[in-house]
């Protein structure tokens, strides 16, 4: 029988999403939530101020108001999200005397009904005593306006280091640029939400819109002073890295439920979501030097991360950028300086790629600038500097060890699929004719890191009807784990995938888990399922042997029929149902991967730029993404599609903007230019599979790859389209205004 | 606050209730009818997740007051599959073409597409892209969705 692995199985989890829309936190109609009170936050309307007074007396008298909470009422200690950050930069769940960004929660109002909370919030009077505001991370790095005066600095993580003055000695050509990797609204379609119920046995049941029930446990335990939590993540409508663990608001919801002894619900509005859930945000000062025949000798990137008002995971991500700074290139000298500073903007979360897109954007934009400087084709400069194919681990100058790679093959594959030479001819003819619509071709090659090592749990239980349940510590929110994990379990047991259920996101049913993020789930969670399946088959073989009074070594598992029998004698046998019996059969194990895996690929973007208006149209996008073994190509392609769209969006239109006073200018989906179907072509995907030796599946992560390659590919294409006019660089997003301005300035 | 009676046929079933004038159709469907498949992604008419069909026209139920729907016929995501559970051709095509990932925007897309294909039974690529421009999706890059619309159009044409 041909293996089910590697085939385009349609997702088994789809029907309930298609027919009743699944069940997200706000959709829960669980009887435990009957009569739940509703929580509404009053948020700061200014970027930096002392709270002179908070008058809640009128609000308290509004219809339906049960209670009103400020920081002092909660008795929840401010938390430092990671131990590595500056200790003076702890975040209180509600503002403690000072607000540091627009959208910071100040007051929580508890009402009988949801609409009453919105009404009562209007009656809260906050008297702000304004403080100087710093929005630009470069200004923040000067430490003139301090967000935390007791810290004495705005640096949240990392340190300033003097660059090596000899780094570019011996280089004939050196290019230098400042790159802005802009802030984005993460904007999953489902906003955050939480419901909490203190149960009669003293436990707290919490439903979260989160990428991992288990990763939320520690912060909720610390805030609530109890370990007795039952955390459930129901269906989650996208996360993209920014729904990791529990948020400040989730903590308030749970604490209020604890104080009230009643069920509490909360869901944010879209504006609350985009004001609090942002990612990226780096200023990169890059320098690259080499010879005029195209050999790169040295590269420096000085990363200044914009952490926002309180250091969260986003403040750490310049270190992920540092790890992947050299990308796919064999550069003898690489220097990375990385730190992050606090500013009066939303605290930065992880966003699809989380530090790696920023690394690729920097090196891929810079190498094209270097190619322009020496007058060489950008593809050719890459060819001359790629790390050659390797099957033994490759250590880079920044100390990162890549598992396996063939970057030259990925580049040649994408260039061929794109018809690179023909595109260059077409471009030359349009340039010669002086066409209004000019063609741009942009390349990006990349390598990234996924999973970062670690372990994951799986348990498989076979029931007396022969069906199976897989328990996982990963936490699907769109990635199709039910289908992929069922395929893995089915392949070696013969239990059909439609008879395999998946349980996840429940701390009572699954003892441990790392959730889903960093493209970890298939390689860690899937490998755990594979490993546990093998253990299950062995356990079942022993039991079947007892039942058949045979030697276990003589038994074979017919995976077509899902039945054990003595080799060569199929008449007497035991099905999975019979082996499981009334007691059932269950096996659990943890799979550990010692370090990360390094997916790679190459992308080509083709754009048409209207030289009179600056309007960009992305006309083609061709991608080679090698994430190792594909379990289900349909799902892998879906991950690539979504990633490419988000990466292209960052290059073309998306940017979260604050004015100089820290007022957000893009605080809803009408103002934030979320990419739509009209701005995107159909993507041309080219398969490539180089299995990693790091896990038994050979799988690397695919969740973030598209995003990583797409942004610089599209940006490079836009610059390329107008390079003949003298343009050397355009910042992202490449809006018509920026492109038009670049053309005008080049023609001066 | 004063309440007003409303009577709406939802997915073929008569529903009656009283609502505040300011209550949206989306909130009424979700809270009063317990039809939670209609999702709220922005509540300002951009994302399209809350799309339902009202008297034959696709509308954003976050921008329609429940009182405005009085006397109308409304179809939500819960009303598209056949009673025996057979998926609507649009639902079926979304599954076959991997037109959904996290699933949150999906009800709005499916309802929009079902309505769009009624008006454009044989759409070209440009018409499809424009027809879908009122719905946003963060997961799929719209690729599987576009394929699903084409597949559903073909299925419905040949039916």
Q: Which residues, in sequence order, are CB contacts of A732 under 8 Å at separation 6+?
A: A180, A181, A182, A361, A650, A651, A655, A711, A715
Q: Which of B26, B29, B91, B103 to mutate to test the interface with A (most CBs of A within 10 A)?
A: B103
- Closest CA of chain A from B15, distance in Å: 18
What confidence score (pLDDT) does residue A409 get?
A: 98
Q: Any idea which architecture A35-131 has in CATH?
A: Alpha-Beta Complex (3.90)
Using a CB–CB cutoff of 8 Å, tell me whether B129 touches chain A.
Answer: yes
Give residues 53 to 82 of B whose Cβ lies within 8 Å of A. 77-78, 80-81
Closest residue, chain A, to B102 (C-alpha):
A478
Q: How confident is the model at residue A748 (pLDDT cuts 50, 70, 90)?
A: confident
Using a CB–CB cutoff of 8 Å, tell me whether A81 touches chain B.
Answer: no
Helix (H, G, I), strand (E, B) or coil at A696: coil
Residue A733, preceding peptide bond in cis (omega within 30° of 0): yes
Instruction: Round to whole Å and give the CA distance between A78 and A71.
Output: 10
- Closest CA of chain B from A33, distance in Å: 13
Nearest by CB: B41 against A14, A270, A642: A270
pLDDT above 90 (res B122): yes
Residue A328 near residue A361 (C-beta atoms within 8 A): no
Over residues A236-293, the pLDDT tens digits come to: 999 999 999 899 999 999 999 999 999 999 999 999 999 999 999 999 999 999 999 9
Using a CB–CB cutoff of 8 Å, tell me whether B3 touches chain A.
Answer: no
Q: Which of A8, A12, A13, A18 to mutate to test the interface with B (most CBs of B within 10 A)?
A: A18
pLDDT above 80 (res B1): no
User: For residue B86, with 0-12 CB atoms within 10 Å meaning exposed, 13-18 middle and 19 or more buried, which class applies?
Assistant: exposed
Is A646–B107 a contact, with Cβ atoms under 8 angstroms apart? no
Q: Which residues, in sequence order, are CB contacts of A717 under 8 Å at separation 6+?
A: A440, A441, A442, A605, A606, A607, A618
Is B136–A682 a contact, with Cβ atoms under 8 angstroms apart? no
- From the list A270, A388, A396, A261, the residue with the least C-alpha distance to A322 is A396
State the pTM of this model: 0.97
What confidence score (pLDDT) does residue B50 get?
A: 98
What confidence score (pLDDT) does residue A331 get?
A: 97
pLDDT above 90 (res A121): yes
pLDDT above 80 (res A1): no
Over residues A174-190, the pLDDT tens digits come to: 999 999 999 999 999 99
Instruction: Round to whole Å and give the CA distance between A471 and A455.
Output: 15
Give residues 84 to 103 of B whose Cβ lies within 8 Å of A. 85, 87, 91, 94-96, 98, 100-103
Q: How confident is the model at residue A200 (pLDDT cuts 50, 70, 90)?
A: confident
pLDDT above 90 (res A226): no
Map out the domains of chain A as residue ranges: 35-131, 278-450+596-746, 451-593
Over residues A367-403, the pLDDT tens digits come to: 999 999 999 999 999 999 999 999 999 999 999 999 9
- Give A-chain residues touching B146 at CB under 8 angstroms: 677, 682
What confidence score (pLDDT) does residue A160 get?
A: 82
Q: Which of B104, B124, B128 to mutate to test the interface with A (most CBs of A within 10 A)?
A: B104
pLDDT above 80 (res A617): yes
Is B142–A677 a contact, with Cβ atoms under 8 angstroms apart? yes
Nearest by CB: A189 against B38, B41, B128: B41
User: For residue A627, with 0-12 CB atoms within 10 Å meaning exposed, 13-18 middle and 19 or more buried, which class applies?
Assistant: buried
Using a CB–CB cutoff of 8 Å, tell me whether A18 touches chain B.
Answer: yes
Over residues B64-121, the pLDDT tens digits come to: 999 999 999 999 999 999 999 999 999 999 999 999 999 999 999 999 999 999 999 9
With pLDDT > 90 as the criterion, what percentage of chain B qualifies? 98
pLDDT above 90 (res A222): no
pLDDT above 90 (res A418): yes
Instruction: Round to whole Å and give the CA distance between B114 and B135.
Output: 13
Over residues A719-733, the pLDDT tens digits come to: 999 999 999 999 999
Average pLDDT over residues A146-158: 97
Using a CB–CB cutoff of 8 Å, tell me whether A34 touches chain B.
Answer: no
CA dihedral B13, B14, B17, B21 (to 10 degrees): 90
The tokens of A24 are what?
Answer: 């997200």
Residue A417 near residue A476 (C-beta atoms within 8 A): no
Residue A7 CA to chain centroid, in angstroms?
A: 26
Closest residue, chain B, to A26 (C-alpha):
B36
Tell me, letter by letter, the H, E, C secondary structure of A150-187. HHCCCEEEECCCCCCCCCCCCCCEEEEEEEEEEEEECC
- Give A-chain residues touching B103 at CB under 8 angstroms: 14, 17, 21-22, 235, 237, 478
Average pLDDT over residues A529-535: 98
Average pLDDT over residues A502-525: 97
Nearest by CB: A187 against B20, B38, B138: B138
C-alpha separations of A106 from A131, A337, A420 in Å: 17, 36, 55
Instruction: Round to whole Å and give the CA distance between A498 and A486.
Output: 8
- Closest CA of chain A from B71, distance in Å: 24
What confidence score (pLDDT) does residue A321 get?
A: 97
What confidence score (pLDDT) does residue A270 get?
A: 98
Q: Which residues, in sequence order, are CB contacts of A422 under 8 Å at separation 6+?
A: none
The tokens of A736 are what?
Answer: 């018509």
Residues A424, A429, A434, A437, CA torsion sign: negative
Residue B133 near residue B103 (C-beta atoms within 8 A): no
Closest residue, chain B, to A672 (C-alpha):
B46
Class of domain A278-450+596-746: alpha beta
What confidence score (pLDDT) does residue A161 get?
A: 85
pLDDT above 90 (res A453): no
Domains A278-450+596-746 and A451-593 share a fold: yes
Average model confidence (pLDDT) for chain A? 97
Over residues A574-600, the pLDDT tens digits come to: 999 999 999 999 999 999 999 999 999
Residue A198 near residue A264 (C-beta atoms within 8 A): no
- Closest CA of chain B from A683, distance in Å: 7
Is B22–A115 a contact, with Cβ atoms under 8 angstroms apart? yes
Write the CATH number of the domain with boundaries A451-593. 3.30.365.10
Q: How confident is the model at residue A219 (pLDDT cuts 50, 70, 90)?
A: confident
Q: Which of A36, A114, A118, A189 to mutate to test the interface with B (most CBs of B within 10 A)?
A: A189
pLDDT above 90 (res A2): no
Where do the domains of chain B lie, and which CATH numbers do they carry?
Answer: 3-79 (3.10.20.30), 89-158 (1.10.150.120)
Secondary structure (DSSP) of A593-606:
ESS-B--EEEEEEE
Place of tokens 């796919």: A328
Average pLDDT over residues B118-140: 96
H or E stretch at A568: none
Closest residue, chain B, to A28 (C-alpha):
B36
Give residues 685 to 724 of A whose Cβ lies within 8 Å of B. 706
């Amino acid at each position: 029988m041909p293996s089910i692995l590697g085939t385009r199985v349609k997702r088994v989890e789809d029907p309930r999403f298609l027919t009743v829309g699944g069940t997200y936190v706000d959709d829960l109609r669980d009887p435990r939530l009957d009569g739940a009170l509703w929580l509404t936050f009053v948020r700061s309307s200014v970027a930096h101020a002392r709270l002179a007074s908070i008058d809640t007396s009128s609000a308290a008298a509004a219809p339906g108001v049960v209670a009103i909470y400020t920081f002092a009422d909660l008795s929840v200690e401010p938390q430092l999200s990671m131990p590595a950050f500056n200790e003076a930069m702890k975040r209180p769940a509600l503002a403690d005397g000072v607000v540091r960004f627009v959208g910071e929660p100040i007051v929580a109002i508890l009402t009988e009904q949801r609409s009453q909370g919105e009404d009562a919030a209007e009656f809260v009077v906050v008297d702000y005593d304004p403080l100087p505001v710093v929005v630009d991370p470069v200004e923040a790095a000067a430490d003139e306006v301090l967000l935390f005066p007791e810290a004495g600095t705005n640096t949240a993580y990392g340190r300033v280091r003097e660059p090596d003055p000899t780094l570019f000695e011996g280089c004939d050509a050196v290019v230098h640029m400042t790159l802005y990797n802009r802030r984005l609204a993460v904007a999953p379609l489902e906003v955050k939400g939480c419901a909490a119920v203190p149960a009669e046995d003293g436990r707290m049941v919490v439903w979260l819109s989160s990428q991992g029930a288990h990763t939320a446990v520690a912060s909720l335990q610390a805030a609530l002073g109890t370990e007795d939590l039952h955390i459930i993540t129901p269906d989650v409508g996208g996360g993209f890295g920014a729904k990791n663990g529990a948020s400040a608001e989730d903590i308030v919801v749970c604490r209020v439920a604890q104080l009230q002894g009643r069920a509490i619900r909360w869901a944010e509005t879209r504006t609350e979501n985009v004001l609090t859930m942002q990612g990226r945000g780096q200023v990169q000062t890059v320098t690259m030097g080499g010879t005029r025949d195209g050999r790169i000798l040295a590269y420096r990137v000085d990363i200044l991360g914009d952490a926002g008002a309180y250091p969260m995971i986003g403040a750490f991500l310049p270190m992920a950028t540092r790890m992947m700074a050299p990308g796919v290139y064999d550069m003898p000298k690489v220097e990375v300086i990385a730190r992050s500073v606090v500013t009066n903007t939303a605290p930065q979360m992880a966003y699809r790629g989380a530090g790696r897109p920023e690394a690729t954007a920097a090196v891929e934009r810079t190498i094209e600038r270097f190619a322009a400087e020496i007058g060489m084709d950008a593809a050719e400069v890459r060819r001359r500097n790629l790390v050659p194919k390797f099957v033994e681990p490759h250590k880079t100058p920044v100390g990162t060890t890549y598992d396996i790679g063939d970057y030259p093959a990925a580049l040649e594959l994408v260039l061929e699929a794109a018809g690179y030479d023909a595109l260059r001819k077409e471009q030359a003819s349009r340039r010669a004719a002086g066409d209004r619509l000019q063609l741009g071709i942009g390349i990006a090659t990349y390598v990234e890191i996924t999973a970062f090592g670690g372990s994951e749990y799986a348990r498989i239980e076979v029931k007396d009807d022969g069906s199976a349940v897989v328990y996982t510590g990963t936490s699907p929110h769109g990635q199709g784990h039910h289908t992929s994990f069922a395929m893995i379990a089915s392949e070696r047991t013969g239990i059909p995938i439609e008879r395999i259920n998946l349980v996840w996101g429940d701390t009572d049913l699954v003892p441990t888990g790392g959730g889903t993020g960093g493209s970890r789930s298939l390689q860690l969670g899937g490998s755990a399922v594979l490993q546990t399946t093998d253990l299950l088959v062995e356990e079942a073989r022993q039991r079947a042997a007892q039942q058949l009074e045979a030697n276990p070594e003589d038994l074979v598992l017919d995976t077509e029929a899902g039945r054990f029998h003595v080799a060569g004698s199929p008449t007497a046998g035991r099905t999975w149902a019979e082996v499981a019996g009334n007691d059932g059969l269950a096996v659990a194990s943890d799979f550990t991967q010692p370090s990360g895996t390094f997916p790679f690929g190459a992308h080509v973007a083709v754009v048409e730029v209207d030289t009179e208006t600056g309007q960009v149209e992305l006309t083609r996008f061709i991608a080679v993404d090698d994430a190792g073994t594909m379990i289900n190509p349909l799902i892998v392609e879906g991950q690539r599609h979504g990633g490419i769209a988000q990466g292209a969006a960052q290059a073309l239109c998306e940017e979260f903007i604050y004015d100089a006073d820290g007022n957000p200018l893009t605080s809803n989906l009408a103002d934030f230019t979320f990419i739509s179907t009209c701005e995107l072509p159909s993507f041309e995907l080219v398969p490539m599979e180089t299995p990693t030796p790091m896990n038994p599946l050979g799988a690397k992560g695919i969740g973030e790859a598209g995003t990583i390659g797409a942004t610089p590919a599209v940006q490079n294409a836009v610059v390329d389209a107008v390079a003949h006019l003298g343009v050397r660089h355009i910042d992202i997003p490449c809006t018509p205004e920026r492109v038009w301005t670049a053309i005008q300035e080049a023609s001066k | 606050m004063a309440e007003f009676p409303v009577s709406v046929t939802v997915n073929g079933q008569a529903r009656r209730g009283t609502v505040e004038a300011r209550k949206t159709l989306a909130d009424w469907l979700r809270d009063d009818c317990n039809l939670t498949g209609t999702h709220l992604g922005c509540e300002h008419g951009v994302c399209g997740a809350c799309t339902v069909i009202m008297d034959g026209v696709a509308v954003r139920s976050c921008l329609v007051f429940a009182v405005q729907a009085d006397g109308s016929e409304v179809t939500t995501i819960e009303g598209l599959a056949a009673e025996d559970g057979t998926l609507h051709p649009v639902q079926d095509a979304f599954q076959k073409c991997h037109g959904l990932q996290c699933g949150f925007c999906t009800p709005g897309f499916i309802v929009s597409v079902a309505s769009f294909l009624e008006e454009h039974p044989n759409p070209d690529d440009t018409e499809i892209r424009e027809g879908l421009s009122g719905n946003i999706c963060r997961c799929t890059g719209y690729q599987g969705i576009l394929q699903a619309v084409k597949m559903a159009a073909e299925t419905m044409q040949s039916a």
